[in-house]
């Protein structure tokens, strides 16, 4: 399939400062692309470059096969939804939604039909006569989305649309947006600093840092095979354990030696590790460390560790131990008998490990 949005070698400078560096992205119709990264990494700037609200300093942006370099935002066949909603305070909800169509000269019957359709899709039929000031945050966000939906554009662009909502409403609206994407089959580009939002919404995720793409892939690829230490640490909560270890090859694979402050190092065997340097960073997610006896398999290796801290979290209990000079978190079942200050046998699933180079941070396996 031809890409609906293609960004090639895009650069963006403000004065002498490079904000975006050699950005390359291609997505297909129906994709939900999430741009995620810490504050200041350039997500909004990239979205604004796609929208044409910011001129680019190099490279190209192509929407549905057409080079957008000299095309103004209103002619790009896009619709944007902002964090601030940007509703007209003096207009009713209905007029806020239809105003753009009116400006574009859409006839009254079509305006009415689209308004009806979108109001029912977003379940705001009963709010059409109100002013934005008479709506809750979540309702305003629906109106802002309604205004985008009636355009039926080639691309929807969302800039942190949920960040003004409280935690519970965020989760509800997240589900709504996902449903909307599935119902419409529309193509969406969505900016957020929230890695959980990225994981739950995206078909494709772009992780950014300092204006550079760190990795692009499906949520599963990003989660299971992070390309470097930054992505490994940024995506996932609690974060992936990243432990400095020593490696040694022997007849049956590779031995991974992890130091401990309070005794002999623990040694885990990885049958399938590639050739590794003698010092690497081992990455293992909390859910891939279980209490011994609760995880089985050829690649599960057990070792006894001293428990530092026990953190009940409802459905799970997190247990923290000092390994390799780091606080290492294991996600255990809620009924665990783990106690702070007592030893506990843990099971490490070595089929799930990532290895990273300590200097470059790049993935090695």
When the beta carbons of 160 and 288 are compared against ligand ADP, the nearer one is: 160
State residue 220 phi and psi, 5-degree precision: -65, -40
Q: To 5 degrees, how large is the angle CA 356–CA 265–CA 354?
A: 20
Q: State the minimum distance, in angstroms, from the CB of residue 17 to ligand ADP.
A: 6
Question: Up-side HSE of residue 113: CA atoms within 13 Å toward CB?
Answer: 5
Query: How many other C-beta atoms can be found within 10 angstroms of the C-beta atom of residue 181?
Result: 20
Q: Are 305 and 324 in contact (CB under 8 A)?
A: no
Q: State the minimum distance, in angstroms, from the CB of residue 208 to ligand ADP.
A: 7
Report how far residue 324's alpha carbon sits from residue 338's, in angstroms, rounded to the nearest whole number.
Answer: 20
When the beta carbons of 45 and 96 are compared against ligand ADP, the nearer one is: 45
Q: State the minimum distance, in angstroms, from the CB of residue 156 to ligand ADP.
A: 17
Secondary structure (3-state) at 338: coil
Q: State the minimum distance, in angstroms, from the CB of residue 170 to ligand ADP.
A: 18
Q: Which residues would be at the binding site for ligand ADP (CB under 6 A)? A: 14, 19, 37, 39-45
When the beta carbons of 15 and 274 are compared against ligand ADP, the nearer one is: 15
State residue 100 phi and psi, 5-degree precision: -60, -40
Torsion of CA 219, 224, 226, 229, to 10 degrees: 130
β-pair type (32-36, 204-209):
parallel
When the beta carbons of 37 and 146 are compared against ligand ADP, the nearer one is: 37
Edge-to-edge strand order for the sheet containing 212-217? 78-82, 155-159, 188-192, 32-36, 204-209, 212-217
Secondary structure (3-state) at 225: coil
Q: State the minimum distance, in angstroms, from the CB of residue 51 to ligand ADP.
A: 12
When the beta carbons of 208 and 338 are compared against ligand ADP, the nearer one is: 208
The number of helices, as runs of H, and strands, as runs of E, in the chain is 8, 20
When the beta carbons of 13 and 259 are compared against ligand ADP, the nearer one is: 13
When the beta carbons of 13 and 203 are compared against ligand ADP, the nearer one is: 13
Q: State the minimum distance, in angstroms, from the CB of residue 14 to ligand ADP.
A: 3
Q: State the minimum distance, in angstroms, from the CB of residue 81 to ligand ADP.
A: 15
């Amino acid at each position: 399939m031809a890409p609906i949005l293609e960004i090639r070698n895009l650069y963006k400078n403000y004065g002498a400062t490079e904000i975006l560096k050699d950005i390359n992205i291609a997505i297909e119709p129906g994709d939900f692309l999430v741009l995620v990264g810490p504050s200041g990494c350039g997500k909004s700037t990239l979205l604004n470059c796609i929208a044409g609200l910011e001129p680019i300093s190099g490279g190209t942006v192509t929407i549905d096969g057409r080079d957008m370099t000299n095309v103004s935002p209103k002619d790009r066949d896009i619709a944007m939804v902002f964090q601030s909603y940007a509703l007209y305070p003096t207009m009713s909800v209905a007029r806020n939604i239809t105003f753009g169509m009116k400006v574009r000269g859409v006839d009254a019957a079509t305006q009415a039909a689209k308004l009806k359709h979108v109001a029912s899709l977003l379940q705001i039929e009963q709010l059409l006569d109100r002013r934005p000031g008479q709506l809750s945050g979540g309702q305003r966000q629906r109106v802002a989305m309604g205004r985008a939906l009636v355009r039926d554009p080639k691309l929807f662009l969302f800039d942190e649309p949920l960040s003004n909502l409280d935690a519970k409403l965020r989760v509800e609206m997240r589900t709504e947006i996902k449903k909307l994407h599935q119902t419409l089959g529309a193509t969406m580009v969505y900016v957020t600093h929230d890695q959980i939002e990225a994981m739950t919404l995206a078909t494709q995720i772009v992780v950014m840092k300092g204006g550079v793409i760190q990795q692009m892939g499906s949520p599963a690829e990003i989660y299971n095979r992070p390309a470097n230490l930054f992505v490994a640490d940024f995506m996932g909560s609690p974060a992936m354990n990243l432990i400095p270890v020593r490696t040694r090859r022997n007849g049956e694979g590779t031995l991974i030696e992890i130091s401990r402050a309070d005794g002999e190092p623990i040694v885990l065997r990885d049958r399938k590790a590639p050739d590794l340097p003698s010092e690497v960073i081992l990455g293992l997610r909390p859910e891939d460390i279980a209490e011994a006896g609760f995880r089985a398999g050829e690649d599960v290796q057990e070792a006894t560790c001293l428990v530092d801290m026990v953190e009940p979290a409802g459905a799970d209990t997190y247990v923290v131990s000092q390994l390799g000079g780091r606080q290492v978190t294991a996600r255990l079942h809620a009924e665990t008998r783990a106690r702070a200050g007592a030893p506990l046998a843990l099971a490490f699933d070595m089929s799930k490990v990532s290895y990273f180079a300590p200097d470059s941070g790049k993935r090695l396996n």
